[in-house]
Chain A
Amino acid sequence: MEILVCIKQVPDDSVEIFLNENTQKPDLEKVTPVVNAFDTYALEMAVRLKEAAGGEVTVLSVGDDSVKNSLKNCMAVGADHAYLCKLDDYNETDTFTIAQSLKESKEEIEKQTGKTFDIIFCGKESTDFASAQVGPVLAEMMDIPVITGIVDIEEKDGGVETRQETEEGYHVISCQGLCLVTVNKPKYDPRYPTIKSKMAARKKAIDELDTAKAGVTVLHTEKVYTPAKRSAGVKIQAESAEEAVAQAMDLMKKAKVF
């Protein structure tokens, strides 16, 4: 199975990111760029599918030169090939530009390598803007079906069978032919690279594409601001649990929370 995984580089989501009031931009200084968490789940699921069904995994990202490092990291955890569609300011670009650029890049990769992809993986959403749009829009642009928020996939009867998480349980959805899936957090965690796999990834090439294609601007950001912050209340550090609970109860009664 020929698998394409689309990834986005985002600021490390385990770090709290706030607005820099001077620049009116998120303060990303000292924040390490990482592969979007949901894309790491998508990559892990794709690599497991490859291991079960054969074929290769290609990763693709739209971004600037710094994204090469993230692409190398993907190759250290199971991706066979990596492509970067060059676009500076990719984080301030709209969904349609990103989706259009991914579509053009996919077609260019197919032209260059002579292979055709059987399935496209995206993360369900990115951890920075979390708009959950790129996957469905890309599928719509390519006129192929999309199955969102999957937590499992296997090859079946020449197509795929997926498990889509729902509010109450799950759907089993199958598809024959090219489709796009977006991935939610599965039961397992993505694998870690080994020293050996990291060394091997470092030697592999990342192919650059100039397939970025801007879409029409429909949305404008009028204002960026910080939400009203809650302030910390009383922290009780008492000698005993009994004492702490007594103090907490007093405060809660005063606040009439019951």
Chain B
Amino acid sequence: MKLTNVKDYMVYVELADGAPVNASLEILTRVSRLAPKSGEQVTAVIIGQNVSEGAQTAIAAGADKVICVEKEISQLEEYVQILTAIGKKYQPRVFFFPATQMGKDLVPVLSYKFDTASITDVTDIVEKAEGFDYVCSSYNGNILNEISYEAGFPQIVSVKSSSFKKELDSSRTGEIISEDIPVDRSLIKTELKETVKEIAEAVNLEEAQVVVAGGRGMGSKENFELVKELADVCKGVVGATRPAIESEWISRAHQVGQSGKTVAPKLYIACGISGATQHISGMSGSGYIVAINKDEDAPIFDIADVGIVGDAVKVIPLLIEAIKKEKAQ
């Protein structure tokens, strides 16, 4: 189905534990700055239960209108049905999604439904005389690609979290529209049998001001505790490389990198981390990078502001003491 009469920007606001995910709010703030110039409006779409608070947050972040679909659903096919119906009815010029797991699943499916193409993990929007170009990366962030759409095709893109700054202004007002969209369960061919929550802690790596991350070089679960202690002292969040997670030193909610989170804290301390591209692509936007590695040729030193060549197990306890002293002053 081709959309022929497109207008306005639509942003899918995903909820996690009832609250809008940051990536969606960041898009709303960014797009609300772009919209007035082109005479477009910004419409948020929220699907879930008790969405009114989320709708207010979406307005505060930049939405002019919020389409609320009060419905408890959990399967991809259900989201696809509802968002396809909304797309058909409102015909957005650009349909933005957060590049979460759900967003990245929805974007290609919807682009096929609407006879267009999609772009994954957009990190910047470039204003052009007519519309936008989108920037995304390839080869683990080593190459950036600026992509444009052929005229006449609706644009469906997912935006990586931390690409833009969210700003909430609770004095903003907006219109709330309720939509009741039925889901045809007979079209759903998979069955969600169980949802298991393994990771109890909320790990907010993306918003952390300080991230202290540990890698395989920490050597053991016991030694990895030092990384956690250092994070505590710095009031930071613990990050980790894939090998540290595969060794079960910490849960995968802490993974930083290509297949984990992208972070941009003010301070990033990398302990026993070699600096593989798959890791660096998730943290090279950090303000100040400190690396501790016993190998003086480790690639992490190429991007570190301060590199300490040494045994992390010896260095970290001393660093903890020094920072404690510094903070006490």
A residues near B (Cβ < 8 Å) are 11, 13-14, 16-19, 26, 94-96, 127-133, 136-137, 139-141, 144-149, 161, 165-177, 179, 184-185, 187, 217-227, 230, 232-238, 241-242, 244-246, 248-249, 251-253, 255, 257-258
Let me know if B142 and A233 touch, CB within 8 A.
no
Known: A140-B112, A242-B318. Is A13-B140 also a contact (CB below 8 A)? Answer: yes
Let me know if A236 and B193 touch, CB within 8 A.
no
Of all chain B residues, the one with the shortest Cβ separation from A133 is: B108
Given A13-B278, A131-B136, A219-B119, 4 more A-B residue pairs with CB atoms under 8 Å apart are A17-B140, A173-B191, A219-B147, A234-B305
Let me know if A227 and B253 touch, CB within 8 A.
no
Of all chain B residues, the one with the shortest Cβ separation from A131 is: B120
Known: A16-B277, A130-B121, A148-B105. Is A251-B306 also a contact (CB below 8 A)? Answer: yes
B113-138 residues with Cβ-Cβ distance < 8 A to A are: 113, 116-121, 133, 136-138
Let me know if B315 and A230 touch, CB within 8 A.
no
Question: Which of A96, A217, A238: most chain B CB closer than 10 A?
Answer: A96
Give bound CA distance, A18 to B258, whole Å.
17
Let me know if A246 and B322 touch, CB within 8 A.
yes
Let me know if A257 and B307 touch, CB within 8 A.
no
Q: List 12 A-B contacts (CB under 8 A).
A: A18-B139, A131-B119, A169-B195, A173-B192, A223-B145, A224-B145, A227-B144, A244-B315, A245-B322, A252-B290, A253-B326, A257-B287
Let me know if A140 and B194 touch, CB within 8 A.
no
B310 interface residue (CB < 8 Å to A): yes
Give bound CA distance, A232 to B303, whole Å.
5
Q: Which of B22-30, B62-70, B148-156 contacts A (4 or more CB under 8 A)?
A: B148-156
Report which of A137, A149, A227, A249 forms a contact with B108, defined as CB distance below 8 A.
A137
Q: Tell me, rounded to whole Å, the shortest Cβ–Cβ distance linking B19 to chain A.
A: 14
Contacts of B140 in A (CB 8 A): 13, 16-17, 127
B16 interface residue (CB < 8 Å to A): yes
B229 interface residue (CB < 8 Å to A): no
Q: Tell me, rounded to whole Å, the shortest Cβ–Cβ distance linking B53 to chain A.
A: 21
Q: Tell me, rounded to whole Å, the shortest Cβ–Cβ distance linking A238 to chain B.
A: 8
Q: Tell me, rounded to whole Å, the shortest Cβ–Cβ distance linking A235 to chain B.
A: 4
Known: A233-B305, A258-B327. Is A171-B144 also a contact (CB below 8 A)? Answer: no
Let me know if B112 and A141 touch, CB within 8 A.
yes
Give bound CA distance, A6 to B121, whole Å.
23
Q: Tell me, rounded to whole Å, the shortest Cβ–Cβ distance linking B152 to chain A.
A: 9
Contacts of B304 in A (CB 8 A): 232-233, 235
Q: Tell me, rounded to whole Å, the shortest Cβ–Cβ distance linking B146 to chain A.
A: 4
Report which of B137, B242, B309 forms a contact with A236, defined as CB distance below 8 A.
B309
Of all chain A residues, the one with the shortest Cβ separation from B134 is: A219
B232 interface residue (CB < 8 Å to A): no
Let me know if A232 and B302 touch, CB within 8 A.
yes
B170-228 residues with Cβ-Cβ distance < 8 A to A are: 188-199
Contacts of A242 in B (CB 8 A): 318
Known: A96-B117, A245-B318. Is A167-B101 also a contact (CB below 8 A)? Answer: yes
Contacts of B284 in A (CB 8 A): 230
Give bound CA distance, A227 to B124, whole Å.
12
6 smallest beta-carbon distances between A and B, as pairs: A233-B305, A169-B198, A218-B117, A133-B108, A172-B194, A223-B146
Contact with A along B36-55 (1 / 0, CB 8 A): 00000000000000000000
B267 interface residue (CB < 8 Å to A): yes
Report which of A94, A129, A139, A233 forms a contact with B306, defined as CB distance below 8 A.
A233
B319 interface residue (CB < 8 Å to A): yes
Of all chain A residues, the one with the shortest Cβ separation from B326 is: A258
Contacts of A137 in B (CB 8 A): 108-109, 111-112
Give bound CA distance, A94 to B266, whole Å.
37
Q: Tell me, rounded to whole Å, the shortest Cβ–Cβ distance linking A139 to chain B.
A: 8
Give bound CA distance, A19 to B327, whole Å.
44
Let me know if A235 and B118 touch, CB within 8 A.
no
Give bound CA distance, A98 to B313, whole Å.
49
Q: Tell me, rounded to whole Å, the shortest Cβ–Cβ distance linking A176 to chain B.
A: 8
B288 interface residue (CB < 8 Å to A): yes
Question: Which of A137, A184, A233, A234: most chain B CB closer than 10 A?
Answer: A233
Give bound CA distance, A127 to B190, whole Å.
28
Contacts of A19 in B (CB 8 A): 142-143
Q: Tell me, rounded to whole Å, the shortest Cβ–Cβ distance linking A243 to chain B.
A: 10
Give bound CA distance, A220 to B311, whole Å.
49
Q: Tell me, rounded to whole Å, the shortest Cβ–Cβ distance linking B219 to chain A.
A: 16
Give bound CA distance, A244 to B310, whole Å.
8
Report which of A184, A234, A257 forms a contact with B267, defined as CB distance below 8 A.
A257
Report which of B112, B190, B314, B323 forms a contact with A241, defined as CB distance below 8 A.
B314
Give bound CA distance, A162 to B280, whole Å.
31
Q: Tell me, rounded to whole Å, the shortest Cβ–Cβ distance linking A40 to chain B.
A: 14
Let me know if A17 and B309 touch, CB within 8 A.
no
Report which of A94, A169, A252, A258 forms a contact with B197, defined as CB distance below 8 A.
A169
Let me know if A221 and B141 touch, CB within 8 A.
no
Let me know if A129 and B138 touch, CB within 8 A.
yes
Let me know if B139 and A128 touch, CB within 8 A.
yes
Let me know if A218 and B190 touch, CB within 8 A.
no
Let me know if B253 and A167 touch, CB within 8 A.
yes
Let me know if A236 and B108 touch, CB within 8 A.
no
Give bound CA distance, A139 to B267, whole Å.
42
